[in-house]
Amino acid sequence: MDDDSSMRLVMAAALEKAGFRVCEADNGRVALAVVEERCPDLVVLDVVMPELDGFATCRALRERYSGEHLPILMVTGLDDIDAIHQAFEVGATDFIAKPINWTVLGYRVRYLLRASAMTRELEKSEANLKIALAEAEAARDRIDGILKSVVDGLVVTDARYRIVLMNRAAEDLLGVRLSDVIDCSVNDAIRIDALRDQLLGKRKERGGKTDLEFQLRLPGRDKEQFIQARSGDVLNCEGGHRGTITILRDITREREVDQLKSEFISTAAHELTTPLTSVLGFTELLLEGGDLAPQEQKDHLGCIYEKAEKLSRIVDDLLDLSRIESGQLILLQKTRFDSRELIRNVIEPLRQQHPRWEWVSILPDASLPLHADHAKIGQVLENLIGNAIKYSPGGGAIKVQADATEDRVQVAVQDEGLGMSADQAARIFEKFYRADASNTAVEGLGLGMTIAKNIVEAHDGKIWVESEPGRGTTVTFTLHRG
């Protein structure tokens, strides 16, 4: 871009000979329009031009294309330091003075274009790098989120058996913090011998199982925990060993359930054997005792019937438990009845069978209509009152109280018996749980409260326990009146 037509002609010829395509402008304003329309890769700009000189044109180009790398080569006969300074101040990329060496001009243009391309490529690489870094950071955040949300403990070691990762669950299980042991060797970071051997791969080398179970009690915890550790290799692209990942799972609850199941089997065997022995014994007497008096025969048959009823109740409880364990819903046959009458009908035979206890029933004068399964609610009452009798071996008062609100009936069974600790009360509804599981404990399978809870909840009701050792227990449940 030059106002001298002969200079433009010679310069265009030299640049075209060097392999470049050229477009021309004879003043600054035309130059701006040409750049806008043709989008050239480089501008050769004479300083002295009419209307808008080279400095003003260069400044205008930089303002319009500030974010783009458009090389601008200033050409002038003013070969002085002030002009050079002014050219670079308004944004020129380079400067060449007249008289121009056309060969040098070609090389200078080629160099500026190459530098511009490299700058653009560098910026593109920088932008791609920023995207990659952002994606890596987002992936790391996702992984961190996953690790934090994993319930099981996670410990990762590198090929030199140094701790490189540990999630919060593992920190809590092992009683250490990642910030204290990161980059530490397993020998220094892990104090549990069996787990240390697992992380170091020694158990695998000795031909042992890759799954490990160990017991752990940390300071400040009231009981031991059972921990299962399972390890696997972290491999690189070539299949080489890069480290080990170990999952730590708290299986304390599973071991407690296994223990409860074992105790339940023992208790069930005892509870079934006792009445069955009586049935067999009295049946044998009847078969062999031909001279028994009619009353004796009647008494023996009564004992057989009583023990058979007990066996039937045990079998019913086991069947109920089987349905609960398999996830089946308790089938309800709802009818409308007066819950006061049901309570009286349950209490009366128990009162006659157990006269040593003081029986107190507090029922409203008005009826307590309830839309529920009559037999199932009767089963709940029998379980609760039966427990009140069994766990009050010294006698005392057994109080059954019922009242109602606008939409609910509430029933409470209270005794003055042995009572329970807070831990026992919290677990009373668990399957297989008994506060005393020994064979010398109060008779029963320990299923009554589990079944009662499921029946109440099948009616969309609630049941809860309040107890204190030596002071007795109160079990309360509520049902919608329907």
Can you give the three-state secondary structure of 92-143, one letter per residue?
Answer: CCEEEECCCCHHHHHHHHHHHHHHHHHHHHHHHHHHHHHHHHHHHHHHHHHH
Question: Residue 255: left if φ>0, alpha if ψ -120 to 50, beta else—which one?
Answer: alpha
Q: For the chain, what's the residue count?
A: 482
Least Cα distance to 18 among 121, 110, 150, 91 occurs for: 110
Whether the Cβ atoms of residue 200 and residue 243 lie closer than 8 Å to each other = no
The average pLDDT across 433-456 equals: 66
- In this prediction, residue 439 has a pLDDT band, given cuts at 50, 70 and 90, of very low
pLDDT at 368: 92
Q: DSSP for 47-94?
A: S--SSS-HHHHHHHHHHHTTTS---EEEEES--SHHHHHHHHHTT-SE
Q: Which of 258-262, 325-329, 414-418, 429-433 has the lowest mean pLDDT?
A: 325-329
Of 236 and 89, which is predicted with more confidence?
Answer: 89
pLDDT at 208: 47
The average pLDDT across 40-56 equals: 87
Whether the Cβ atoms of residue 69 and residue 97 lie closer than 8 Å to each other = no
Residues with Cβ within 8 Å of 221's Cβ and at least 6 positions away in sequence, in order, are: none
Of 148 and 203, which is predicted with more confidence?
Answer: 148
Whether the Cβ atoms of residue 240 and residue 234 lie closer than 8 Å to each other = no
Three-state DSSP state, 211: strand
Question: Which residues lie across from 248 on neighbouring strands?
Answer: 153, 229
Q: Does the pLDDT at position 24 exceed 80?
A: yes
For the chain, the average pLDDT equals: 84
- In this prediction, residue 210 has a pLDDT band, given cuts at 50, 70 and 90, of low
Q: Can you tell me the distance from the alpha carbon of 175 to that of 218, in angstroms, rounded to the nearest whole number?
A: 7
Which alpha helices (DSSP H) does 201-292 contain, by range? 202-205, 252-288
Whether the Cβ atoms of residue 45 and residue 95 lie closer than 8 Å to each other = no
Three-state DSSP state, 469: coil
The average pLDDT across 32-57 equals: 87
Q: Can you tell me the distance from the alpha carbon of 319 to that of 325, in angstroms, rounded to the nearest whole number?
A: 10
Calculate the CA 349 to chain-centre distance.
51
Tokens of residue 366, six digits: 């008005």
The percentage of the chain sitting over the pLDDT mark of 90, rounded to a whole number, equals: 24
pLDDT at 334: 92
Q: Can you tell me the distance from the alpha carbon of 33 to that of 56, in angstroms, rounded to the nearest whole number?
A: 14
- In this prediction, residue 442 has a pLDDT band, given cuts at 50, 70 and 90, of low
CA torsion sign for 61, 64, 65, 66 is positive
In angstroms, what CA-CA distances link 415 with 395, 423, 475?
9, 19, 9
Least Cα distance to 6 among 98, 72, 78 occurs for: 98
Q: Can you tell me the distance from the alpha carbon of 261 to that of 172, in angstroms, rounded to the nearest whole number?
A: 29
Q: Can you tell me the distance from the alpha carbon of 92 to that of 86, in angstroms, rounded to the nearest whole number?
A: 9
Burial of 256 (0-12, 13-18, 19+ CB in 10 A): middle
The average pLDDT across 451-465 equals: 91
The average pLDDT across 207-218 equals: 71
Q: Does the pLDDT at position 314 exceed 80?
A: no
pLDDT at 358: 94
pLDDT at 478: 95
The average pLDDT across 176-190 equals: 90
- In this prediction, residue 438 has a pLDDT band, given cuts at 50, 70 and 90, of very low
Whether the Cβ atoms of residue 446 and residue 433 lie closer than 8 Å to each other = yes
Whether the Cβ atoms of residue 429 and residue 295 lie closer than 8 Å to each other = no
Range 456-479 burial, b when 16+ CB lie within 10 A, else e: beebebebebebeeeebbbbbbbb
- In this prediction, residue 380 has a pLDDT band, given cuts at 50, 70 and 90, of very high
The type of residue at 482 is: G
The percentage of the chain sitting over the pLDDT mark of 70, rounded to a whole number, equals: 89
Least Cα distance to 452 among 397, 482, 392, 411 occurs for: 411
pLDDT at 440: 38
Q: Does the pLDDT at position 45 exceed 80?
A: yes
